[in-house]
Amino acid sequence: MSTMRQRLAAELLGTFALVFAGTGAIVVNDVTGAVTHVGIALTFGLVVMALIYTLGDVSGAHFNPAVTIGFVLARRFPFREAWPYMLVQFLGALAASGTLRFLFPDNEKLGTTSPRGSWMQSFVLELLLSAFLMFVILNTTTGSKEKGLTVGIVVGAVIGLEAMFAGGVSGASMNPARSFAPALVSGHFESLWIYLLAPTLGACVAVPGCRLVQTPGCCVTAEGCS
Protein backbone atom coordinates (compact mmCIF):
# COMPACT_ATOMS: atom_id res chain seq x y z
CA MET A 1 0.00 0.00 0.00
CA SER A 2 1.27 3.45 -0.90
CA THR A 3 1.48 6.05 1.83
CA MET A 4 -0.65 9.19 1.66
CA ARG A 5 2.46 11.22 0.89
CA GLN A 6 3.28 8.98 -2.06
CA ARG A 7 -0.28 9.13 -3.38
CA LEU A 8 -0.40 12.90 -3.15
CA ALA A 9 2.98 13.18 -4.84
CA ALA A 10 1.73 10.91 -7.65
CA GLU A 11 -1.39 13.03 -8.13
CA LEU A 12 0.61 16.25 -8.15
CA LEU A 13 3.20 14.97 -10.63
CA GLY A 14 0.61 13.25 -12.79
CA THR A 15 -1.60 16.31 -13.04
CA PHE A 16 1.46 18.42 -13.81
CA ALA A 17 2.40 16.06 -16.66
CA LEU A 18 -1.16 15.99 -18.00
CA VAL A 19 -1.58 19.76 -18.08
CA PHE A 20 1.97 20.43 -19.24
CA ALA A 21 1.72 18.01 -22.17
CA GLY A 22 -1.89 18.72 -23.11
CA THR A 23 -1.98 22.49 -22.88
CA GLY A 24 1.64 22.55 -23.98
CA ALA A 25 0.54 20.95 -27.24
CA ILE A 26 -1.97 23.76 -27.68
CA VAL A 27 0.68 26.41 -27.00
CA VAL A 28 3.20 24.81 -29.34
CA ASN A 29 0.52 24.60 -32.03
CA ASP A 30 -0.15 28.31 -31.56
CA VAL A 31 3.55 28.96 -32.14
CA THR A 32 4.30 26.54 -34.97
CA GLY A 33 0.98 25.26 -36.33
CA ALA A 34 2.60 21.84 -36.57
CA VAL A 35 0.68 19.93 -33.90
CA THR A 36 -2.85 20.40 -35.34
CA HIS A 37 -6.17 19.70 -33.64
CA VAL A 38 -5.73 15.94 -34.13
CA GLY A 39 -2.28 16.08 -32.57
CA ILE A 40 -3.60 17.97 -29.54
CA ALA A 41 -6.35 15.39 -29.02
CA LEU A 42 -3.86 12.54 -29.32
CA THR A 43 -1.50 14.25 -26.87
CA PHE A 44 -4.19 14.43 -24.18
CA GLY A 45 -5.22 10.82 -24.73
CA LEU A 46 -1.69 9.41 -24.87
CA VAL A 47 -0.38 11.27 -21.83
CA VAL A 48 -3.32 10.06 -19.74
CA MET A 49 -2.76 6.50 -20.95
CA ALA A 50 0.94 6.68 -20.03
CA LEU A 51 0.21 8.19 -16.62
CA ILE A 52 -2.37 5.54 -15.72
CA TYR A 53 0.16 2.78 -16.34
CA THR A 54 2.89 4.73 -14.56
CA LEU A 55 1.05 5.92 -11.45
CA GLY A 56 -2.25 4.05 -11.38
CA ASP A 57 -1.12 1.56 -8.77
CA VAL A 58 0.17 4.37 -6.54
CA SER A 59 -2.70 6.88 -6.39
CA GLY A 60 -5.44 5.52 -8.64
CA ALA A 61 -4.44 8.01 -11.36
CA HIS A 62 -7.29 10.48 -10.88
CA PHE A 63 -5.47 13.67 -12.03
CA ASN A 64 -8.89 15.33 -12.18
CA PRO A 65 -10.99 16.76 -9.33
CA ALA A 66 -14.19 15.71 -11.09
CA VAL A 67 -12.98 12.10 -11.22
CA THR A 68 -12.09 12.21 -7.54
CA ILE A 69 -15.58 13.47 -6.72
CA GLY A 70 -17.07 10.73 -8.89
CA PHE A 71 -15.16 8.06 -7.00
CA VAL A 72 -16.34 9.53 -3.69
CA LEU A 73 -19.98 9.45 -4.80
CA ALA A 74 -19.52 5.87 -5.97
CA ARG A 75 -18.20 5.06 -2.48
CA ARG A 76 -14.93 3.84 -3.89
CA PHE A 77 -12.78 6.60 -2.41
CA PRO A 78 -12.88 8.03 1.13
CA PHE A 79 -14.27 11.55 1.46
CA ARG A 80 -11.54 12.55 3.93
CA GLU A 81 -8.87 11.92 1.27
CA ALA A 82 -10.69 13.72 -1.53
CA TRP A 83 -9.77 17.24 -0.42
CA PRO A 84 -5.99 16.60 -0.31
CA TYR A 85 -6.23 14.88 -3.69
CA MET A 86 -8.04 17.82 -5.26
CA LEU A 87 -5.68 20.34 -3.68
CA VAL A 88 -2.56 18.72 -5.14
CA GLN A 89 -4.30 18.27 -8.51
CA PHE A 90 -4.89 22.02 -8.72
CA LEU A 91 -1.34 22.71 -7.52
CA GLY A 92 0.13 20.37 -10.13
CA ALA A 93 -1.91 22.02 -12.86
CA LEU A 94 -0.86 25.49 -11.71
CA ALA A 95 2.80 24.44 -11.72
CA ALA A 96 2.41 23.20 -15.29
CA SER A 97 0.79 26.43 -16.49
CA GLY A 98 3.42 28.45 -14.66
CA THR A 99 6.15 26.49 -16.43
CA LEU A 100 4.49 27.09 -19.78
CA ARG A 101 4.28 30.82 -19.00
CA PHE A 102 8.03 30.78 -18.30
CA LEU A 103 8.76 28.92 -21.55
CA PHE A 104 6.30 30.86 -23.74
CA PRO A 105 5.92 34.32 -22.16
CA ASP A 106 4.29 35.79 -25.28
CA ASN A 107 1.49 33.24 -25.50
CA GLU A 108 -1.74 34.92 -24.48
CA LYS A 109 -3.97 32.10 -23.23
CA LEU A 110 -1.65 29.14 -22.46
CA GLY A 111 -4.29 26.64 -23.59
CA THR A 112 -7.21 28.20 -21.73
CA THR A 113 -10.52 26.55 -22.62
CA SER A 114 -13.29 28.76 -23.97
CA PRO A 115 -16.53 28.18 -25.91
CA ARG A 116 -16.57 28.62 -29.67
CA GLY A 117 -20.37 28.97 -29.66
CA SER A 118 -22.88 29.72 -26.91
CA TRP A 119 -22.15 29.06 -23.26
CA MET A 120 -25.09 26.63 -23.15
CA GLN A 121 -23.66 24.58 -26.00
CA SER A 122 -20.28 24.22 -24.30
CA PHE A 123 -21.83 23.59 -20.87
CA VAL A 124 -23.95 20.70 -22.13
CA LEU A 125 -21.05 19.31 -24.15
CA GLU A 126 -18.68 19.40 -21.18
CA LEU A 127 -21.29 17.79 -18.92
CA LEU A 128 -21.94 14.95 -21.38
CA LEU A 129 -18.26 14.41 -22.19
CA SER A 130 -17.38 14.23 -18.50
CA ALA A 131 -20.31 11.94 -17.74
CA PHE A 132 -19.24 9.51 -20.45
CA LEU A 133 -15.62 9.63 -19.33
CA MET A 134 -16.57 8.91 -15.71
CA PHE A 135 -18.97 6.18 -16.81
CA VAL A 136 -16.15 4.48 -18.69
CA ILE A 137 -13.74 4.84 -15.77
CA LEU A 138 -16.22 3.36 -13.29
CA ASN A 139 -17.08 0.44 -15.55
CA THR A 140 -13.50 -0.43 -16.49
CA THR A 141 -12.02 -0.39 -12.99
CA THR A 142 -12.79 -2.56 -10.00
CA GLY A 143 -11.37 -0.13 -7.45
CA SER A 144 -10.09 3.41 -7.36
CA LYS A 145 -6.48 2.19 -7.09
CA GLU A 146 -6.55 -0.59 -9.68
CA LYS A 147 -5.30 0.11 -13.16
CA GLY A 148 -5.99 -3.29 -14.73
CA LEU A 149 -4.50 -4.42 -18.01
CA THR A 150 -6.49 -2.31 -20.44
CA VAL A 151 -7.80 0.61 -18.37
CA GLY A 152 -5.07 2.98 -19.57
CA ILE A 153 -5.80 2.22 -23.22
CA VAL A 154 -9.57 2.55 -22.81
CA VAL A 155 -9.54 5.76 -20.76
CA GLY A 156 -6.84 7.36 -22.90
CA ALA A 157 -8.78 6.46 -26.03
CA VAL A 158 -11.98 7.99 -24.68
CA ILE A 159 -10.20 11.23 -23.79
CA GLY A 160 -8.55 11.38 -27.19
CA LEU A 161 -11.83 10.63 -28.97
CA GLU A 162 -13.79 13.25 -27.05
CA ALA A 163 -11.07 15.85 -27.55
CA MET A 164 -11.03 14.98 -31.25
CA PHE A 165 -14.70 15.61 -31.96
CA ALA A 166 -15.61 18.21 -29.32
CA GLY A 167 -12.37 20.07 -28.68
CA GLY A 168 -13.00 22.54 -31.48
CA VAL A 169 -16.31 23.59 -29.92
CA SER A 170 -15.99 23.48 -26.13
CA GLY A 171 -12.31 22.70 -25.64
CA ALA A 172 -13.17 19.23 -24.28
CA SER A 173 -11.67 20.00 -20.89
CA MET A 174 -13.52 17.43 -18.73
CA ASN A 175 -11.19 18.48 -15.93
CA PRO A 176 -11.61 21.53 -13.64
CA ALA A 177 -7.90 21.64 -12.76
CA ARG A 178 -6.87 21.54 -16.43
CA SER A 179 -9.06 24.60 -17.14
CA PHE A 180 -8.47 26.51 -13.91
CA ALA A 181 -4.67 26.63 -14.12
CA PRO A 182 -4.19 28.25 -17.54
CA ALA A 183 -7.10 30.62 -16.86
CA LEU A 184 -5.50 31.81 -13.62
CA VAL A 185 -1.98 32.12 -15.00
CA SER A 186 -3.10 33.87 -18.20
CA GLY A 187 -5.79 35.98 -16.54
CA HIS A 188 -8.64 34.78 -18.79
CA PHE A 189 -11.58 33.92 -16.52
CA GLU A 190 -14.43 34.75 -18.92
CA SER A 191 -15.94 31.26 -19.16
CA LEU A 192 -14.09 29.45 -16.40
CA TRP A 193 -17.29 28.66 -14.47
CA ILE A 194 -18.42 26.37 -17.29
CA TYR A 195 -15.30 24.24 -16.98
CA LEU A 196 -15.44 24.07 -13.19
CA LEU A 197 -19.15 23.22 -12.91
CA ALA A 198 -20.03 21.13 -15.98
CA PRO A 199 -17.33 18.42 -15.59
CA THR A 200 -18.14 18.07 -11.89
CA LEU A 201 -21.85 17.65 -12.61
CA GLY A 202 -21.04 15.23 -15.41
CA ALA A 203 -18.98 13.02 -13.11
CA CYS A 204 -21.85 13.02 -10.59
CA VAL A 205 -24.38 12.04 -13.27
CA ALA A 206 -22.22 9.08 -14.32
CA VAL A 207 -22.46 7.38 -10.91
CA PRO A 208 -26.19 6.52 -10.97
CA GLY A 209 -25.79 5.64 -14.64
CA CYS A 210 -23.11 3.13 -13.75
CA ARG A 211 -25.26 1.65 -11.00
CA LEU A 212 -28.02 0.99 -13.52
CA VAL A 213 -25.80 -1.41 -15.45
CA GLN A 214 -23.20 -2.64 -12.98
CA THR A 215 -23.97 -2.15 -9.30
CA PRO A 216 -21.02 -4.15 -7.86
CA GLY A 217 -18.63 -2.35 -10.19
CA CYS A 218 -19.64 1.09 -8.96
CA CYS A 219 -19.38 0.53 -5.22
CA VAL A 220 -17.01 -1.19 -2.84
CA THR A 221 -19.78 -3.75 -2.32
CA ALA A 222 -23.21 -4.17 -3.83
CA GLU A 223 -24.73 -3.37 -0.44
CA GLY A 224 -22.76 -0.13 -0.32
CA CYS A 225 -25.04 1.45 -2.91
CA SER A 226 -28.19 0.96 -0.89
pLDDT beyond 70 at 144: no
At 110-136, the pLDDT tens digits run 999 999 999 999 999 999 999 999 999
Alpha helices in the chain (DSSP H): 4-32, 36-59, 65-73, 79-103, 119-140, 151-166, 176-186, 192-213, 215-218
Mean local confidence (pLDDT), 64-93: 96
Domain annotation for the chain: domains and CATH numbers = 4-225 (1.20.1080.10)
**Local confidence band at 169 (pLDDT 50, 70, 90 cut-offs):** very high
Q: What is the pLDDT of residue 145?
A: 46
DSSP 8-state code for residue 17: H
| Distance in angstroms between the alpha carbons of the first and the last residue of the chain | 28
Buried-exposed string 26-52: b where 16+ CB fall within 10 A, e elsewhere: bbbbbeeeebeeeebbbbbbbbbbbbb
pTM of structure: 0.92
SS3 of 102, please? helix
pLDDT beyond 90 at 141: no
d(CA 48, CA 56) in angstroms, rounded, equals 10
φ, ψ (nearest 5 deg) of residue 192: -60, -35
Q: What is the pLDDT of residue 75?
A: 92
Q: How far is CA 196 from the centre of its chain?
A: 11
d(CA 142, CA 148) in angstroms, rounded, equals 8
Considering the chain, what percentage of its residues have pLDDT values greater than 90? 86
Helices 192-213 & 119-140 angle (0-180, nearest 10): 40
At 20-70, the pLDDT tens digits run 999 999 999 999 999 999 999 999 999 999 999 999 999 999 999 999 999
Q: What does R_g of the chain's alpha carbons equal in angstroms? A: 16
Q: What is the pLDDT of residue 199?
A: 98
**HSE-up of 160 (CA within 13 Å, CB side)?**
16
**Local confidence band at 215 (pLDDT 50, 70, 90 cut-offs):** low
